[in-house]
Structure 1
Amino acid sequence: MQFTTLIALAVATSMAALSAMAAPTLACDTICPAIYQPVCAKAKTGLNKSFSNPCELKNYNCKHPNANFAVVANSNCKDITAPAPTCDFMCTMDDNPVCGKTKDGKTSTFSNSCILALHNCQHPTDQFELIANTACPATACPTACPMIYRPVCAKLQSGESRTFGNSCEMNSYNCENPNDKAKFVAKDECPAVAAPTVAPKKRAAPVACPSMCPMVFKPVCAKNANGDFHTFGNRCEMSVFLCMNPFIAFTSVIEGACEAL
């Protein structure tokens, strides 16, 4: 009788073990709705991965328990905007100028080395390398241009159209006004209040006429007897034009470019 009882216990234990081994595993293939509600999740390793919806994330974690992805954003990972850099250091306003230079050759003077470092922290795509513990050399802008009247029309960053006597005048203006540069539009005067109807006849410049004028952009608008308007970079330029064309006379001269009137 005792022997029979032992056999019965052994059989029961074996059956229990087999039953445990045959127990169903977790269901990791839940049917997910066909809804695109992307989530970005991060694993323990720091890896980011996008899932079409939270249900797919749950299924993935079920099949890969060691990954343990956790939601970090309700969007596709690639749509997450990188956080702005934290530049948590203060700079004094000491005037110890330094010169910085970018990879493309642009130079800029900073009040001190801390200000340069702060700029680099706040502008990761516009990095300056310290090249000198002094201010950067000033760019020499031309002060005189050839007195050749070949007008060009340009548009300033402010939206204003402006006529320059020639391309040299425009380049000089850009050098002196880096924050309001003129962009070339056409090899002609900008449209004026009244467009010229008769092209002035030119002749060779007399020896007595000057060929250079100071590069001071103080435009004047001149009107001739035919009602035509001409913009000159300054009064010197107008005087040279009249010297070269003595048969042309202006009935009125107004300060400022014609197109601005």
Structure 2
Amino acid sequence: MQFSTLIALTVATSMAVLFATAAPTGPKCGTGCPTVYQPICAKAVDGLNKVFVNACELKNFNCKHPKANFAVVAESDCKDFVAIDKRAAASASPKCDTICPTVYQPVCARAIDGLNKAFGNACELKNYNCKHPNANFVTIADSECKDIPTPTPVCNKVCPLNYEPVCAKIQSGESKTFGNACELNVYKCENPTDKIELLASAECAAASPACAIACPAIYKPVCAKHSNGDLQTFGNKCELSVFNCKNPAIAFSLVTEGDCDAN
């Protein structure tokens, strides 16, 4: 009887060891962590932030929740980090493709820069503003814009007092010195239809003239006289003009068309 019992116990023990050996072992996620507070801010795969007491607590959490897969963002709490919920962000994106009715009910809208623009209807205006938020058109009339004048631009007239002169050619063709680039921009704003060209970042008197270089290769000689009475022949009037432009202190004046030696 005792021998049978001994055999039975031996078999039972062997079976227990066999099952214990064969059974799969999962990860041990209950590692004891220290109670010291060394906060860790971590971010999950969905963009949400979570603070853990220390790195050990984070490791245990990821072990127990492998799908969360929190990654360290900073060795601090999360108060200075904005959580981004990717799912919420995707659903919050504006939809600018609203299907508008085909009915023509024009609206005139004005952008922040003063430009007027007509839209087929209010729905089209809404879609446009959604796609171009910086334009920010605002309805000013339930009609087309043809009878609504564009307002005169409001020009900034407050410029710094520093004197950094610039020279520009204005509509009349004359050169004009402005105290600085800001003053030139104000002038352009107040004269929007004028053709204004910047010549130099200096006073007009000190600005070097823009002298033409390319003259036609046609020999039509002209005779010119220097202020001291000397005569000189130039290939054509263009060459005389370029010479005088580049040498204003010794300018020649036209005497006659033709070679000086022939006169």
What TM-score, normalized to structure 1? 0.33
Q: Looking at both structures, which has the greater relative contact order when contacts are Cα pairs under 8 Å and sequence separation is at least 6? A: 1
What TM-score, normalized to structure 2? 0.33
